[in-house]
Amino acid sequence: MFCFKNYALLIIVLLSPVCIQAQLLHAKGVIKGKVIDGESKLDLVGAQIIIKENSTGAATDNKGYFEIKQVPVGSYSLDCHYMGYERLVKTDIIVRSERETFVNFELQASSIEVSGATISTGYFSEIQTQPLSTINFSSEEIRRAPGAAGDVSRIIFGLPSLAKVNDTKNSLIVRGGSPVENGFYIDNIEIPNINHFPTQGSTEGPIGILNVDFIADVNFNCGGFTADYGNSLSSIMDLRFREGNRSATDIQLEMSMQGFGGMIEGPLHGGRGSYLISVRRSYLDLLIGMMNETVGIPTYSDIQGKVVYDVSDQHRLSFVDVFSDDRQSMNQKNALESNTINIYPDYGSYSNTGGVNWQWIWGKNGFSQTSLSHTISRTNVRFYQSRDAKLLMNNASVEQEMNIRNSNHWTADPKNKFNFGFDAKYVMIDYNQFYNAYQDILGNSTPIFNLNKSINTLQGGLFIDYACRFSEQITVSPGARVDHYRYTHETKISPRVSLIASIDDITSLTASYGIYYQNIPWIIAAQKDDFRNLKTPRADHYVLSFNRLLTESTKLTVELYDKEYMNFPMDPSQPDLFLFDQAVVEQVFLNHENLISAGKARSYGIEATVQKKMAENFYGLIAGAYYRSNYSGVDGKRYDRVYDNKFNFSVEGGYKMNEKWEFSLRWLYAGGAPYTPFNEQASAATHKGVFDATRINADRLPDFHSLNLRVDKKYYFQSTTLTVYLSIWNAYGRRNVAAYTWNEVKDKRMEEVMWGTLPVFGVKYEF
């Protein structure tokens, strides 16, 4: 059991002064940055940047750059003004000892002006071009979030759009969907999954790949997104990596829950470019190995990099690469000793996404982003049955994609703006898989199945979005995608439209409608030639949003949504199970003899969010939702989907005592998710969990709630900075049940529980 007394002592020891703090009085850093037009990417000359805490500042030069020297170490907010543009305020700008902090501003032309100065707020301006169902987080907001451990997916977990099902996984279950339905982009490059130990065919995994110190900011859109995003039914996470330092070499060492590693950045070619490289590795297996234990601890590592080079003032090239490697090997003895593991793995996989992005600024009216990328995911995994070491599955697969994506932004005039382009991918897949005969969750016998297949196919789409400002109050944005899937010989048209009505300077209403399509996961589509005839799953989004600024730095958002799903694959031998959901629950897509496109589902609800940016010394987010999510089985009956919490509520916030100390917390509460009880007599007779087919998703798990606490301490030396934090997950030790499973060795039901009370420690040294 977690001992608070021992860890209270640990906090005192770790966070006590380890240096002569008098040096803090002289520690200073530099804030550098650039201000550009968000529509054209052209430099803005003469923009004013003010540090709100001390009213010092600078103006941009003839290339849009600014520099503020001799800034005392600490946390600041920068206020950027430029005549004819909306004011933009960036919070949580961290100045460190003898280091440069680079801040980019992309300003939007103001629609309302008074003597050349905009009257709109600046704390939420960054998402005004994509306002519907979108929330923005900065790198620092992700880093310090309690319960996130620097993992971008875990900060999203607190939003009302996300189901609260299992906090041991990075499962983004958005508005009643599933982890299969999400899309991720980094600097205009699509990346299939941002997690270690990914579930093949899905986007989930237990721990994130991305280094938070690479991230400039994140836009997360949970519905009604524009036509430039395709092949995603529920959400889009659009991340932007920052550039490396263009004038000096910086090095960083760190250790945290995600592992230990380092990062280096510096200039290229006299400052015309920069590089940024990170390497990390998990360490728990090393500690266990020192104790001569072999318990199948997972190991993982990742490498990330970004290189930027300015070919000219109009042309910029950037290269991004994200690599991950995951390993875990157990044996039957380890599995039996655990008393909880029915299936044990021999697992190995790696993935890599690398690509180049070309930005071309045409002139004052527009620019283009064109990326070319390659993704490879290689999986070698064998699953064994714990009670008799029987091989259940052998999966050797290689999945590759070559992607090209072009997006063009053209401002015809202040009232008419266009975004158009195309994306295409060439898919190359090799599957060599063996599925042993097994009994499925309903007790049906499934024969041995071998899959040896290669797929080479092309798919792509064209898109256009048009924003027309009819008046100062009304903006209408129609758009559409046309996608062609060569493998299924389908062409799909996806119309989308949104309407923004500004009631006054601080209040707006937004409505949107859109049709969205997404491929069936290749691991399913490849199993039978007949599966090429399955229809492409579709979701129709209806969203109505109300936004109001309560204060300059506090925003209220209330949204109503309705999602109608159709054409989902269903297995007639499992007529009352939803394939997409069940595959993720079982953590693997299994083989199917027959599938039909009969699946229908619906998700609808209301969400409310109050977000407070750190304009003063505190920040916070309060959010709640009521929603329902259900589906129709092949039998025509309606069932709750496995992620249907019904309601959730979250409170998150932090207090910055001074430039050295910060305290934060997050409390989550959600209704229990549906589950299907076991037919215990049939399960005991077959030594295998068998659902009670008369009670599909009819019972509910206990309600989920958890409190996460965190304290951060910074030590500013003369030329280096040390950051130490301690976070307590599930601080009051709530026993949250993720699922009920059947113990095949003991032949009884058991609980799969989420995180107990877990201390998470991290340290970062920058020099």
* pLDDT band with cut points at 50, 70 and 90 for residue 553: confident
**Could you please report the per-residue DSSP string of 639-708?**
EE-TT--SEEEEEEEEEE-SSSEEEEEEEEEEPPPEEPPB-HHHHHHHTS--B-TTSTT-EEPPPEEEEE
Mean pLDDT, rounded, for 7-31: 55
Segment 429-472, tens digit of pLDDT: 999 999 999 888 898 888 999 999 999 999 999 999 999 998 88
User: Which of 350, 258, 167 is closest to 735 using CA atoms?
Assistant: 167
Segment 467-489, tens digit of pLDDT: 999 888 899 999 999 999 999 99
pLDDT, the chain, mean? 88
494 touches 537 (CB < 8 A) = no
Looking at per-residue pLDDT, the higher value among 506 and 304 belongs to 304
Segment 75-127, tens digit of pLDDT: 898 999 998 888 888 888 889 888 889 998 988 887 654 444 444 557 776 55
Segment 263-318, tens digit of pLDDT: 999 999 988 999 999 999 988 766 555 544 555 788 999 999 999 999 998 999 99
pTM of this prediction? 0.91
Distances (CA, A) of 748 to 336, 454, 681, 741: 15, 41, 10, 9
Q: How far, in Å, CA of 260 to CA of 581, rounded?
A: 34
pLDDT of residue 182: 94
Which domains does the chain possess? 26-120 (2.60.40.1120), 134-766 (2.40.170.20)
First to last CA, the chain: 38
Q: How far, in Å, CA of 1 to CA of 733, rounded?
A: 9
230 touches 494 (CB < 8 A) = yes
Ranking 20-29, 408-417, 422-431 by mean pLDDT, the lowest is 20-29
User: Which of 40, 37, 76, 77 is closest to 60 using CA atoms?
Assistant: 37
pLDDT of residue 46: 92
Cβ-based neighbours of 291, under 8 Å, separated by 6 or more: none
